[in-house]
Amino acid sequence: MAVQERASAAAAVQPPVTERITVLAWLKHNLFSTWYNSLLTILVGYLLYLVLVPVFRWAVLDATVSGDSKEACDFAGACWTLVKVRFGQYVYGLYPEDQRWRVNLALAIAAVAMVPLFLERFRHRLTYAVGLVLVYPLVGYTLFYGGWLGLPVVETPRWGGLFLTLVIAGVGITASFPLGILLALGRRSEMPVIRSLCVAFIELVRGVPLVTILFMASVMLPLFLPAGVNFDKLMRALVGVALFSAAYMAEVVRGGLQAIPKGQYEAAMALGLGYWQMTGLIVLPQALRLVIPGIVNTFIGLFKDTSLVTIIGLFDLLGMAKLIVTDPRWLGLAAESYIFAAFGFWIFCYAMSRYSQHVERRLSAGERR
């Protein structure tokens, strides 16, 4: 009798209780749940109102975009006319206007070439990526610099703006990633010479500001080179940025390597895998997945650190923003210029951040519980 009752009670399975969440209910629960929360909500709301409304009014409502010169702006709001008129310089720097199509073409080629890397079903992505990294610099160099195929030369001091930022960041990221991995592996090596060299490099490079590295690369390097041999200024900046970032990347990767349980190494060794097979197939895939936040952090930092090339006379996005403001025809519009530059940086950094979250989500599927 009792068993049957229990059975029928179990059979009457009830659906979970769902509450219908209305806006008012949400507000009450999250913002006005207790008296002090309510007070805080009102206070914060007031502060937001004090700050955001004037900013919005200045940046959007009262702003001017039309016209060709400063005269067109009415100074109640932001003068985005500056940005509109000088947009080309923000993006291309001092690159000659009639040659800008080359930059566009090169960046379009890069964008299209990167598409296969995002296709999940494409099996040979790693080989393709390596190939791309080896081939694209030639394409980029030809189009950006010119000098053959009938393209006129555009010297590197004329490269600037967002285009220069992308070049430096792109080269920096692409070079520092494998270099950082090698340094991290070297630092954990059991061979004393390799380990000491890697440690020395990492500690030395991390210990000095990027500015000094760029400065030394640009000012001191020519002193050491024989007369007549002159490295291109941009090249020096690229090397400096890549080495600097590699040292940081090495430590991030090393953190990931340390987190891999010893059992993984042992299982790989017991199966007969050699060092590079074990590292490439077992250890790095797991270690890199673990430290994606740290890696992306380093990339984003690098992207913004490219602004330091102003110290050696190159004008990246921020440098151009500063340069444009010095034009007497646009005096007094520093705020607009810098805000636009900041916005430019933010777009790219946020895109990197979102992409990394997507990668993390995709890679955790099926991972250890």
Residues at the interface with another protein (CB under 8 A): 261, 263-264, 266-274, 277, 281-282, 285-286, 289, 366-369
Hey, how many other C-beta atoms are within 10 angstroms of the C-beta on 222? 14
Output 354 or 358, the one with its CB closest to another protein: 358
Output 117 or 271, the one with its CB closest to another protein: 271
Q: Which helix (H) or strand (E) holds 248?
A: helix 233-259
The token pair that represents 25 in the structure block: 């209910």
Output 152 or 293, the one with its CB closest to another protein: 293
Least separation in angstroms between CB 365 and another protein: 8
Hey, how many other C-beta atoms are within 10 angstroms of the C-beta on 122? 11
Least separation in angstroms between CB 290 and another protein: 10
Least separation in angstroms between CB 199 and another protein: 24
The token pair that represents 5 in the structure block: 């009752």
User: What residues form DSSP beta bridges with 93?
Assistant: 159
Least separation in angstroms between CB 292 and another protein: 13
3-state helix, strand, coil in the chain (%, to 5): 75, 0, 25
Output 16 or 263, the one with its CB closest to another protein: 263
Q: Contacts from 232-238 at CB under 8 Å and sequence distance 24+?
A: 232/156, 233/156, 233/157, 233/312, 233/313, 233/314, 234/156, 234/159, 234/167, 234/168, 234/314, 235/156, 236/312, 237/168, 237/309, 237/312, 237/314, 238/168, 238/171, 238/172, 238/175
Output 19 or 190, the one with its CB closest to another protein: 190
| CA dihedral of residues 105, 106, 112, 113 (deg, nearest 10) | 150
Least separation in angstroms between CB 289 and another protein: 7
* CA distance linking residue 108 with residue 3, whole number of Å: 73
Least separation in angstroms between CB 260 and another protein: 10
Output 137 or 274, the one with its CB closest to another protein: 274
